[in-house]
Amino acid sequence: MSLKKIRKQLAILLLLSVNLTVCAHEGMWMLGRLNKQTTQSMKELGLKLPADKLYHPNKATLKDAVVSFGGFCSGVVVSTDGLVFTNHHCGFGAIQQHSTVQKDYLKDGFVARSKEEELPNPELYVRFLIRTEDVTQRVLGSVSPNMSEADRRSVIDSVMLAIQEEVHTKDSSVVGVVDAYYGGNEFWLSVYRDFNDVRLVFSPPSFIGKFGWDTDNWMWPRHTGDFSVFRIYADKNNQPADYSPDNVPYKPQYVAPISTQGYQEGSFCMTLGYPGSTERYLSSFGVQEMVEGMNQAMIDVRGVKQAIWKREMNKRQDIRIKYASKYDESTNYWKNSIGTNKAIKDLKVLEKKREMESSLKQWIQQAPGADSLSIQLLSTLELNYKNRKQTNRAMAYLGESFMNGPELVQLALEILNFDFEAEEKVVVSKIKDIMEKYANLDLDIDKEVFTAMLREYPQHVDSVYLPEMYNTIAKEYGGDYKVYVDSLYARSEITSPRGLQRFFERDTTYNLMDDPAISLGIDLIVKYFEMNQSINEASQNIEKGERLYNAAIRRMYADRNFYPDANSTMRLSFGTVKGYSPMDGVDYSYYTTAKGILEKARTHHPDPDFALGANLISLLKEQNYGKYADEKGEMKVCFISDNDITGGSSGSAMFNAKGELLGLAFDGNWEAMSGDILFEPKLQRCVGVDIRYILFVIDKYANASNLIQELQPSLK
- Is the Cβ–Cβ distance between 108 and 98 less than 8 Å? no
Does the structure show a pLDDT above 50 at 14? no
Does the structure show a pLDDT above 60 at 60? yes
pLDDT at residue 476, as a whole number:
97
Strands 591-593 and 586-588: unpaired
Distance CA 591, CA 265 (A): 9
Which residue in the list 104, 226, 446, 690 is annotated as catalytic?
226
Q: Is 377 exposed, middle or buried (0-12, 13-18, 19+ CB in 10 A)?
A: buried
User: pTM for this structure?
Assistant: 0.93
Half-sphere exposure of 123 (CA within 13 A, CB side): 18
pLDDT at residue 11, as a whole number:
44
- Is the Cβ–Cβ distance between 698 and 712 less than 8 Å? no
- Is the Cβ–Cβ distance between 142 and 159 less than 8 Å? yes
Listed residue (542, 537, 424, 439) closest to 496, CA to CA: 439
pLDDT at residue 12, as a whole number:
43
Q: Does residue 601 or residue 13 have the better pLDDT?
A: 601
Q: Residue 221, preceding bond cis, omega within 30 degrees?
A: yes
- Is the Cβ–Cβ distance between 355 and 14 less than 8 Å? no
Beta partners for residue 268, in sequence order: 576
- Is the Cβ–Cβ distance between 707 and 229 less than 8 Å? yes
24-38, 177-191, 328-342, 375-389: the lowest-pLDDT one: 24-38
* HEC readout, 504-550: HCCCCCCCHHHCHHHHHHHHHHHHHHHHHHHCHHHHHHHHHHHHHHH
Q: Tell me, yes or no, if 650 is annotated catalytic.
A: yes
Q: Does residue 182 or residue 375 have the better pLDDT?
A: 182
DSSP for 452-511, written as a single string: HHHHHGGGTS-GGG--THHHHHHHHSTT-HHHHHHHHHHH-STTSTHHHHHHHTT-TT--
Does the structure show a pLDDT above 80 at 17? no
Non-local (6+) Cβ contacts of 713 within 8 A are 79, 80, 255
DSSP 120: E
pLDDT at residue 498, as a whole number:
87
pLDDT at residue 16, as a whole number:
43
pLDDT at residue 561, as a whole number:
87
**Interval 432-491: pLDDT, tens:** 889 999 999 999 999 999 999 999 999 999 999 999 999 999 999 999 999 999 999 999
C-alpha dihedral sign at 65, 67, 69, 72:
positive
Half-sphere exposure of 552 (CA within 13 A, CB side): 27
Listed residue (635, 672, 639) closest to 269, CA to CA: 639
- Mean of pLDDT values over 515-536: 96
Distance CA 451, CA 481 (A): 6
User: How remote is the C-alpha of 62 from its chain's centroid?
Assistant: 22
Which residue in the list 89, 197, 460, 644 is annotated as catalytic?
89
Distance CA 588, CA 479 (A): 54
- Is the Cβ–Cβ distance between 263 and 662 less than 8 Å? yes
Predicted confidence band at 3 (pLDDT cuts at 50, 70, 90)?
A: very low
**Interval 590-644: pLDDT, tens:** 999 999 999 999 999 999 999 999 999 999 999 989 999 999 999 999 999 999 9
- Rg (Cα) of the chain, in Å, rounded? 26
Does the structure show a pLDDT above 60 at 1? no
14-23, 230-239, 494-503, 557-566: the lowest-pLDDT one: 14-23
User: How remote is the C-alpha of 104 from its chain's centroid?
Assistant: 26
Predicted confidence band at 375 (pLDDT cuts at 50, 70, 90)?
A: confident
DSSP for 19-56, written as a single string: HHPPPTT---B-GGG--HHHHHHHHHHT--S-GGGT--
Q: Tell me, yes or no, if 565 is annotated catalytic.
A: no
Does the structure show a pLDDT above 80 at 8? no
Does the structure show a pLDDT above 50 at 7? no
pLDDT at residue 24, as a whole number:
53
Predicted confidence band at 23 (pLDDT cuts at 50, 70, 90)?
A: low
- Mean of pLDDT values over 254-269: 97
Which residue in the list 74, 267, 650, 714 is annotated as catalytic?
650
Listed residue (712, 707, 687) closest to 697, CA to CA: 707
CA distances from residue 188 to 33, 129, 160, 172 in whole angstroms, order as listed: 10, 13, 10, 20
Instruction: State the average pLDDT for the chain.
Output: 93
Q: Where are the domains of the chain?
A: 31-125+196-279+565-714, 131-192, 284-549
Taken as a whole, the chain contains a residue count of 716
DSSP for 657-701, written as a single string: TTS-EEEEEEE--GGGGGGGTS--TTT--EEEEEHHHHHHIIIII
pLDDT at residue 431, as a whole number:
86
Q: Percent of the chain at pLDDT above 70?
A: 96
C-alpha dihedral sign at 480, 481, 486, 490:
positive
Helix (H, G, I), strand (E, B) or coil at 186: strand
**Interval 560-596: pLDDT, tens:** 889 999 999 999 999 999 999 999 999 999 999 999 9
- CATH fold group of domain 31-125+196-279+565-714: Thrombin, subunit H (2.40.10)
